[in-house]
Amino acid sequence: METLITILAGILVTTATYLILSKSMIRTILGTAILSHAAHLLIMTMGGLKRGSVPIIGEGNNHVDPLPQALILTSIVIGFAVTAISLVLAYRIYQETKTDDLYEWRGFTDE
Amino acid sequence: MNNILVLPLALPVLVGILLIFFRSNIPLQRWVSFAVMVVNLGLSIYLLHEIHTEGILRLDFGGWKPPFGISFVADSFSVLLVMTTSIVTAICLLFAFSSMDRSHEKMFFYSFVNLLVAGVNGSFLTGDLFNLYVCFEVMLLASYVLLALGGRKVQLKEAIKYVVINVVSSWLFIVGIAYLYGMVGTLNLAQLSQRIAESGQPPLITVISIVFLTVFALKAGLLLYFWLPGSYAAPPIAIAALFGALLTKVGIYAMFRMFTLVFYHQPVFTHTIIGVLAGLTLIGGSIGAVAYRDIRQIVVYNVIISVGFILIGLAVATPEAMEGSIYYLIHDMIVKALLFLLAGVMITLTKTARMDQISGLIRNYPLLGWMFFIVMLSMAGIPPFSGFIGKVLVGQGAIESGSYLLLALAFGSSILVLYSLLRVFLSCFWGETIIDEEEMITAKKGWLIPCAILTITTIGLGLGAESIATYVSEAANTLLNPDKYIDAVLND
């Protein structure tokens, strides 16, 4: 199971890298979102995947580790915030320059 | 246990949220934010005193004893930085009062400054690796907004670059955390340190330490500073000064923490890499500082040079060098804010950032000229000012450990700092004035007073170094003896 999830995380990183390197701004942002999900899967896998009961005393013997879930939850919230702000930023840039193509905004160092 | 420890984080967060509801009441927003910074300053001085008498302080949230809960740990190093952050932010806010556009102030400028400070203070105080990541993100999210505030094309362009680069480096941060958790099974810094010490830092953990080095190098601008010149030159002056003073310093702090507390068993490998990176940063930053004619770019490249200089202290890692780095870190936060503010005032007064189009400013604005002169001497490390002690101590440490190449680079770069700023001084302040009496814009008191306060602070820090000397040596001592930190966190 761990191997499978690791491979999945790898595929996500590949996709994300491809998207981030593209010219279109919106693809870059989607790429960063996918990248963070790959990291979340990695955290889950590193914590160890196993079937078990809730980590409360007296609820069975085989507990799962609650920490990776807590970490991922926090990280997902942060990921949402960052994706939201970059989408807003992309929209503002589109309003300002009427283009989504990163190559076309070379050269306005000054106004 | 000391509940005051949470206030440097909690106060700005709460005020930042509350101020959203008082959007149109700008005077209230201004003075409440200023008051928060003053209160934080008082708290940090109190905490510094408390740490001096009672040792390292700890706060376990919800009463969960470490290593299980989230905890805040305050040693002298982190509280000194919290103190400096409060001073610098308070003064940058004073500057913002008279320099920010009303429209920017209405777009929640003060809320976001508060949130930025919350993130910075949280990063300094946290005792948990994942919490460090969270505080980093709080700080970065606020900085994304502040960078784009105003929405000029160049700001938006730099903002999207800055966002994407930081998202990727944050991704590396989580990857590092995941691997470390998989290897060691904990994220509490003290317990991490303990467990890695037990296993003697096997090669895999050294590799993970390099992942962290990459992350913090990206955040601090250690060699990987390609994003920095653009994004620090784009926003309004007060924001640029905050960025220059605070953001890279958090990365530097994290690097000091991780490589003195957790990954300190293979210094031949890790600290050598840090040394090489610091040396290359000094070279690159110096070339940038000398090459440009745009005042903003010169100022920004000076930020990069100081990052390299501070990290030489970490690479060398002798007690003197550590002390020197801490002195220099405090000095640098104050002086960089001052330099950005002065450069901003010059640009506002002359409406150009090119230094060959400005001359003779000292006839019209003598105070500005002298303050620029002082900041230049201070950054180059001329004795009465605050940069001197840091430079001497780092140099002494480098000689002791025999790293003469780093020593040469450090002092060579100091000369280039002096040269690059002297060039600005000669070109902009001396010579025939370009401004007529009639069309001269008066420099507002609101611009000059904050600069004057910072100038007095840098002189005061230079002359009164003894007043913080005990705290600095204590901080260096804790950094070099991780057992103290572990003891304070894990054993009560």
Q: Which residues of A touch B160 (CB under 8 A)?
A: 25, 86, 89-90, 93
User: Would an 8 Å CB–CB cutoff place B367 in contact with chain A?
Assistant: no
The predicted pLDDT at position A111 comes to: 46
Mutation target for A interface from B139, B141, B160: give the one with most A CBs within 10 A: B160
Task: Tell me which residue in B156, B178, B179 faces A89 most closely, judged by beta carbons.
Answer: B156
* Cα–Cα distance measured from residue B123 to residue B247, given in angstroms and rounded to the nearest whole number: 11
* Cα–Cα distance measured from residue B20 to residue B479, given in angstroms and rounded to the nearest whole number: 39
Phi then psi for residue B9, to 5 deg, are -90, -45
pLDDT, tens only, B366-414: 999 999 999 999 999 888 888 899 999 999 999 999 999 999 999 999 9
pLDDT, tens only, A26-42: 999 999 999 999 999 99
User: Would an 8 Å CB–CB cutoff place B372 in contact with chain A?
Assistant: no
User: Would an 8 Å CB–CB cutoff place A69 in contact with chain B?
Assistant: no
Q: Which of A102-106, B331-335, B353-357 shows the lowest per-residue confidence on average (mean pLDDT)?
A: A102-106
The predicted pLDDT at position B356 comes to: 86
Q: Which residues of A touch B157 (CB under 8 A)?
A: 93, 105, 108
Interchain pair B137, A78: CB under 8 A: yes
pLDDT, tens only, B10-63: 999 999 999 999 999 999 999 999 999 999 999 999 999 999 999 899 999 888
User: Would an 8 Å CB–CB cutoff place A46 in contact with chain B?
Assistant: yes
The predicted pLDDT at position A107 comes to: 63
Tokens 């950005």 correspond to what residue? B340
The predicted pLDDT at position A71 comes to: 92
Q: Which pLDDT band, with edges at 50, 70 and 90, does A66 fall under?
A: confident
SS3 assignment, position B234: coil
- Spell out the long-range contacts of A9-18 with Cβ–Cβ below 8 A and sequence spacing 24 or more: A9/A38, A9/A39, A9/A41, A9/A42, A9/A45, A10/A38, A12/A37, A12/A38, A12/A41, A13/A38
Task: Tell me which residue in A40, A46, A93 faces B179 most closely, judged by beta carbons.
Answer: A46
Question: Which are the contacts of B331, defined by CB distance < 8 A and separation ≥ 6?
Answer: B378, B386, B387, B389, B390, B458, B461
Q: Does an H or E element contain B360, and which?
A: none
* Cα–Cα distance measured from residue B99 to residue B88, given in angstroms and rounded to the nearest whole number: 16
Mutation target for A interface from B129, B157, B293: give the one with most A CBs within 10 A: B157
- Spell out the long-range contacts of B410-413 with Cβ–Cβ below 8 A and sequence spacing 24 or more: B410/B282, B410/B309, B410/B312, B412/B282, B412/B286, B413/B282, B413/B283, B413/B285, B413/B286, B413/B305, B413/B308, B413/B309
Residue B99 near residue B341, CB atoms below 8 Å: no
Q: Give B 185-244 residues with CB within 8 A of chain A.
A: 187
pLDDT, tens only, B54-91: 989 999 988 888 888 889 999 999 999 999 999 999 99
Mutation target for A interface from B145, B152, B153, B296: give the one with most A CBs within 10 A: B153
DSSP H helical segments within B200-266, as ranges?
203-220, 228-233, 237-257
Across A62-68, average pLDDT: 84
Q: Which residues of B touch A71 (CB under 8 A)?
A: 130, 177, 181, 187
Is pLDDT of B163 > 90? yes
Q: Which residues of B touch A75 (CB under 8 A)?
A: 133, 174
The predicted pLDDT at position B358 comes to: 87
The predicted pLDDT at position B465 comes to: 86
